[in-house]
Structure 1
Amino acid sequence: MSLFGLFERRASVENPKVPLTSESLLSLLGGSPGVSGVAVTETSSLRMPAVWRAVSVIANVSAALPLHTYVAGTKDRATVALLDDPHPELTRFELWRLLYVHRLLWGNAYAQKIRNGAGVVVQLWPVRPDRVKVDREPSTEDNPGGKVFWVKDDQGRRVRLTSREILHLPALGYDGVTGCSPVRAAAEGIGLGIAAEKAAAELYGSGNMISGILQTEQRLTREQAASLKAAWSAKLSGGSALDIGVLDSGASFQPVTMPYKDSQFLESRQFQVTEVSRMFGVPPFLLMSTEKSTSWGTGLEQQAQGFVTWDLAPTWLTPTEQRVTKELLDPTRQYAKYQLGGLLRGDSSARATFYRAMRDTGAFSADDIRDLEDLTPLGGREGNMRLQPMYMAPLGSDPTATAPAAGAEPDDRAARAARHLAAAHRLLNPPTPPEEGGDDDPQH
């Protein structure tokens, strides 16, 4: 237990010290309407398209990335059956996507560890976050961290579990116990977006947004007005694009344009998309908002790489790697690492330039490059061969001299260099045949 009060005891309805007032209950249970008049919860927030898109982008991309296991201190791959097939029904992608969705909406993801008779974790079963209450107790030998999870079962009873039975993946938080829900933190902004969308639907659904007004100098009865409207509508729907409308009885058509305040209303809806983008750390173009950015080319490519470097990797991927290593692997023998090469490798031209530079300097072999491109390795000497550039040598040394073989005498080096120079001289200056009748003619 920390001596500095970092791990505070969290309030709950079961705690008798918590007053059962309307304010405390609303703050604990959530779901109260905000200033926008819309009650925003983790699930109802998905009704806003920008939230749905942001959550799906992060969850799908993170779950689709390969999560490899390596031997500690090396880059040698290791096989862990739990990470390859963590659930009897869900695929690896489906399980991790669900856990990422939980973290994005609730700020926490929980999975029950199922162990075999030897105590080894063999399965992970996701637990819905709204069924879990997290608390901290004094550390014991069986629970060194002191974190406990009160999980509500199907009968509504609270079951006490520890970190031995629960894998906890918290998002950004402030107390060291749980993460904060991004949806609750941005409830007002999301609620405003949902309210604006609802208001727009009501505006168009009520018929208040009309295209124009038919005006006439005469006083018309209801039947005459309906007949004039029907005739004008029939003319508009049945004519061609360049047809001419004719109005009689002094009637004129006045089109109605969108008022300035309505255009500001649309701008406010677009601003809420930007707010969601800012809250989840997803670039606007990934939310299909490209009004203020280029729609193609290297500009979006750089933004996508920035998203991986500054948001996706440090916010979501790195905490998962370290938590999996800490609780599902033996940190002294193995560690987990996401393979981000596919997201950061750029376009084909940039990849070709990078691979050529790494190949020419001997940093990559042919199989190293083929592995990054998801191609079958060549294997053998050809696939693992690393090239050494022959045009580089230490300053002041003889670039034609070759390095001595292992165990060879220094004199052999000079002899080999002389032989190579002689062979190169013969290739560059082949002997010319003698001219007939010349001094070199053996007949003279």
Structure 2
Amino acid sequence: MIFGAMYEQRSSLENPNTPMNSQELAEYLGAVNGITVSPAMAQKLTAVYACIYVLSSTMAQLPLNVLRKVDGRIVPATDHPAHYLLHDEPNQWQTSYRWRETKQAHTLGWGNGFTRLVRGRRGELQTLEMCEPQVTDLVKNGSRWVYATQDEDGKPLAVSPEDMVHLRAIGSGRRMGTSPIRQNADTIALGLATVRYGKEFFEGGGRPTGLVTLKNGDLKEDSWERLKKVWRGAVSGLTTTKNKTLLLPADLDYKALTIAPEDAQFLETRKLTRSEIASIFNVPSHMINDLEKATFSNISEQAIQFVRHSVMPWVKNWEEELNRRVFTRAERLAGYYVKFNLAGLLRGTPKERAEFYRIAIQDGWMNRNEVRVLEDLNPLAGLDSMLLNVNTQLLGADGLPLPVTPKE
């Protein structure tokens, strides 16, 4: 099999028997200052993990429904197989929430999120099987593009583009997305280096490394060996959690070689890195618990901006990709489509919702039972009629008020 041979030829630099895709190779070659900035390593940085979690959990909790537009009316398409798979259980291992959360995290970390569509003999949708981005790549087999991935048993598998839901992060190519972590490796490497510096500093007893010199005279060979032995024993005692005084058997001078945290602006660097990482993922700083410049007034406004400018682009990305892959062309022409419901994120405070509902009812474009449904309340008899403000007049096609017919 040509595809199988091509897939197995890819190998890691350390072990020829271990497959390595193009993303892993780029991560291996792109180590910054000795720090490999891979998606898995980057998520050890709390700011990166928090950004990915915020966006992934937000996309996962949004209601996702299959709808159909028929004769100008929109009705739930609960009879379509995709409704249960997208809304409840895409496969036997995941719920809809867990599938969307993981797929979004893959896209933010590796730049690509893959889900294989498994169809029956008649083309009906059966399951949505998620593929790991670490073992999935887009390759050209002759004149045809295929997705090279693995099944649940780890065996090579070729998937046609028509049967792969491929969610992409922003990238320079048409076919594959680029990992935001790889695109901003220097910034994330700075954050990882700062964490490593703090860890090593405090593991070393919280004291900077320095240079010890003799103030007066020279040391004989036996004295030099004795001094080294005492120094090693004293320094090893400083690595414990207890603070100890360093005693040396000579008149020595100590000069620090490393920069103390306060001189290196350790805390300021960590704060700046958190802010920069939040901007990489387009997440407001207060969403990752960075409240230094936040106030109660601007947090409310930033929450709205988060939905509009952070969540909405991903919602559009998801909807367009699902619509073009889940449904056949005939189904799309028949009016089937998927839709995320963002109403829950934009509901506002009880006072703001009450004002919104009041205007909607008085202006006559919502009835009271529709409001009750949005508030998770059961409809009541007599509340289906539309109300209209007495100061409002209906206009005809010519723009003039319609005549009022007196009641008999």
Fold conserved between structures, TM > 0.5:
yes
User: Unaligned 5+ residue runs, structure 1?
Assistant: 1-11, 16-23, 140-145, 211-221, 223-232, 234-257, 396-400, 405-412, 420-444
Corresponding position of 1:185: 183
1:125 to 126, 129, 135: 129
- SS of residue in 2 equivalent to 1:123: strand
The alignment covers a number of residue pairs equal to 327
Q: Segments of 4+ in structure 1 off by > 4 A?
A: 12-15, 24-27, 136-139, 153-157
Question: What is the 5 A alignment of 1:164-203?
Answer: 164-203=162-201
- SS of residue in 2 equivalent to 1:76: strand
Identify if the C-alpha distance between structure 1 residues 64 and 387 changes in structure 2 by more than 3 Å, giving closer, same or farther.
same
- What letter matches 1:48 in structure 2? L
Identify if the C-alpha distance between structure 1 residues 343 and 55 changes in structure 2 by more than 3 Å, giving closer, same or farther.
same
Residue-by-residue CA offset, 1:27-53 (whole Å, 9 max, x unaligned): 834234633431111111110000110
Identify if the C-alpha distance between structure 1 residues 327 and 379 changes in structure 2 by more than 3 Å, giving closer, same or farther.
farther
What is the TM-score with the length of structure 2 in the denominator? 0.73
Question: What is the 5 A alignment of 1:68-83?
Answer: 68-72=65-69, 74-79=73-78, 80-83=83-86
Structure number with higher relative contact order (C-alpha < 8 Å, ≥ 6 residues apart): 2
Corresponding position of 1:47: 44
Corresponding position of 1:292: 293
Quote the Cα distance in structure 2 between the aligned partners of 1:292 and 1:358. Answer: 36
Q: Tell me, yes or no, if structure 1 residue 95 matches structure 2 residue 99.
A: yes
What is the TM-score with the length of structure 1 in the denominator? 0.67
Quote the Cα distance in structure 2 between the aligned partners of 1:138 and 1:68. Answer: 38
- In the TM superposition, what is the alpha-carbon distance from 1:289 to its structure 2 partner? 0.4
- In the TM superposition, what is the alpha-carbon distance from 1:169 to its structure 2 partner? 1.4
- What letter matches 1:360 in structure 2? Q
Corresponding position of 1:303: 302
Quote the Cα distance in structure 2 between the aligned partners of 1:92 and 1:335. Answer: 17
Residue-by-residue CA offset, 1:69-115 (whole Å, 9 max, x unaligned): 22135432221222222112311111111111111111111112122
Question: What is the 5 A alignment of 1:298-377?
Answer: 298-314=297-313, 316-329=314-327, 330-332=331-333, 333-373=335-375, 375-377=376-378
Quote the Cα distance in structure 1 between the aligned partners of 2:262 and 2:114. Answer: 48
Q: Tell me, yes or no, if structure 1 residue 389 matches structure 2 residue 399.
A: no
Corresponding position of 1:271: 272
Corresponding position of 2:237: none
Name whichever of 178-187 and 161-170 sits farther off.
161-170
Are 1:365 and 1:386, in contact at CA under 8 Å, matched by a contact in 2?
Answer: yes
- SS of residue in 2 equivalent to 1:89: coil
- SS of residue in 2 equivalent to 1:282: coil
- What letter matches 1:343 in structure 2? L
Quote the Cα distance in structure 2 between the aligned partners of 1:344 and 1:42. Answer: 31
User: Unaligned 5+ residue runs, structure 2?
Assistant: 1-6, 11-20, 209-229, 231-241, 243-259, 396-401
Question: What is the 5 A alignment of 1:212-291?
Answer: 260-262=262-264, 264-291=265-292
- What letter matches 1:278 in structure 2? S
Residue-by-residue CA offset, 1:359-379 (whole Å, 9 max, x unaligned): 110111123222332x13305
Corresponding position of 2:219: none
Q: Tell me, yes or no, if structure 1 residue 112 matches structure 2 residue 110.
A: no
Are 1:301 and 1:346, in contact at CA under 8 Å, matched by a contact in 2?
Answer: no
Corresponding position of 1:403: 404
1:31 to 28, 31, 41: 28
Identify if the C-alpha distance between structure 1 residues 25 and 46 changes in structure 2 by more than 3 Å, giving closer, same or farther.
closer
Quote the Cα distance in structure 2 between the aligned partners of 1:57 and 1:344. Answer: 16
**Higher Rg of the two aligned structures:** 1
Percent sequence identity over aligned pairs: 26
- CA RMSD, Structure 1 to Structure 2 (Å): 3.0
Are 2:66 and 2:338, in contact at CA under 8 Å, matched by a contact in 1?
Answer: yes
Are 1:41 and 1:183, in contact at CA under 8 Å, matched by a contact in 2?
Answer: yes
Question: What is the 5 A alignment of 1:55-74?
Answer: 55-72=52-69, 74=73
- SS of residue in 2 equivalent to 1:386: coil
Identify if the C-alpha distance between structure 1 residues 328 and 155 changes in structure 2 by more than 3 Å, giving closer, same or farther.
closer
- In the TM superposition, what is the alpha-carbon distance from 1:334 to its structure 2 partner? 1.1
Identify if the C-alpha distance between structure 1 residues 323 and 371 changes in structure 2 by more than 3 Å, giving closer, same or farther.
farther
Quote the Cα distance in structure 1 between the aligned partners of 2:26 and 2:33. Answer: 19
Identify if the C-alpha distance between structure 1 residues 112 and 390 changes in structure 2 by more than 3 Å, giving closer, same or farther.
same
Identify if the C-alpha distance between structure 1 residues 380 and 74 changes in structure 2 by more than 3 Å, giving closer, same or farther.
same
- In the TM superposition, what is the alpha-carbon distance from 1:200 to its structure 2 partner? 0.8
- What letter matches 1:348 in structure 2? P
- What letter matches 1:284 in structure 2? S
- In the TM superposition, what is the alpha-carbon distance from 1:157 to its structure 2 partner? 5.4
